[in-house]
Chains A and B, each alone.
Chain A
Amino acid sequence: MIVYGVALLSGCLVSGMLIGEALGVLLNVDANLGGVGIAMLFLVFASNSEMFKSLTDGAAGDGIKFWSAMYIPIVVAMAARQDVAAAVDGGILALLAGVAAVVVSFALVPVLSRIGKDSRVSQDDRQGAS
């Protein structure tokens, strides 16, 4: 049944959100602390475990795959509802702050990606670059 997979997905999101919200209250933060990320972990555990096989195999799995495939269309709709006009109206300070934050963060991706890799890999990187 397709709905079993959809229900599992929904269950993961709701429980993740509840934990994220509770963490926020616990730490006195006015935000959901990683609810979506926690929900994703739940789904990863469920799809890698034998116990939930009946909820992730066959047609039930298709119920999850459908929403995974709807991801890009949903992201396009999300882009269409962004407050682009406010970003454009923000003026030069907002523009500079946003752009600089992105440029610096982009530059740090290759630096931090090295953490946890063994030295052999970074040597390969250097050879590849030269």
Chain B
Amino acid sequence: MDLIQAVFVRNNLIVAFALIGVTIWISYYLAEKLTQGRIHGSAIAISLGLLAAYFGGVASGGSAGVADIAMLGGIGLMGGGMMRDFAIVATAFGVHLNELKKAGLAGVISIFAGVIVSFIVGAGISVMFGYTDPAEITTIGAGAVTYIVGPVTGEAVGASNEVITLSVAAGLVKSILVMIGTPLVARTIGLDNPQSAMVFGGLMGTTSGVAAGLAATDPKLVPYGAMTATFYTGVGCLLGPSILFFIVSAMF
């Protein structure tokens, strides 16, 4: 057992490649046999990943899903921000500049609209739950933007740790729901071309959610959605502790 553990830990990234490969193979097999291809194989793989992350998190008590289990630490590296960003940028290879230009304006508007709308929804719900302190309302609203904007804003406006944790949880719910929900609603919201993918990325904004949601819908749309989504968190961190906080302070 020690021997296996030692080899697995020492080669953790390689173990991750093998494990993810097997997971994807099983997922595509299930997608084909059980759903006749109606559900995308990668949607099943992502759901399995999230499920494993839940149990990994409960078992280890850590915050990085299965990656907190020593033998599976390589999943943390493989699925970490560095590799994710590297692969996202690679998907832009072969994208035509014209497609980007066509949706450029709509993409930019959607980023600002997405941040503001999510913020209003999150802040509104915190008010419904009886929060009256502007810093707390702003932080929870920012959490509904993304789980990065929440703590950045919370620390800037001096919210309590408890509220910051709450904002991270709201952002995580959003991110996970986008991962699972996107392939289900894609047809209804017209998410089938580069232009709507750019708008989608700008509106949803959670890079992880958009990255996984589009991968499970149509991998060809990934670069367009990811392009706008990656600006969203930055814009959220820009607006949250400044304009949005001032507006909330003026109201409460």
Contact = CB atoms under 8 A, between A and B. Distances in A.
Contacts of A16: 89
B45 A72 contact: yes
A86 B24 CA distance: 25
A78 interface: yes
B126 A93 contact: yes
Contacts of B222: 71
B109 A112 contact: yes
Interface stretch (B30-38, B227-235, B243-251): B227-235
B234 A73 contact: no
Chain B interface helix/strand/loop/mixed: helix
Contacts of A12: 89
B211 A75 contact: yes
B105 A81 contact: no
A84 B55 CA distance: 9
A43 B196 CA distance: 21
Contact of A64 (B90, B179, B219): B90
B140 interface: yes
B221 interface: no
A39 B89 contact: yes
Interface of A: 9-10, 12-13, 16-17, 20, 23-24, 27, 29-37, 39-41, 43-45, 47-48, 56, 61, 64-68, 70-91, 93-102, 104-110, 112-113, 115-117, 125
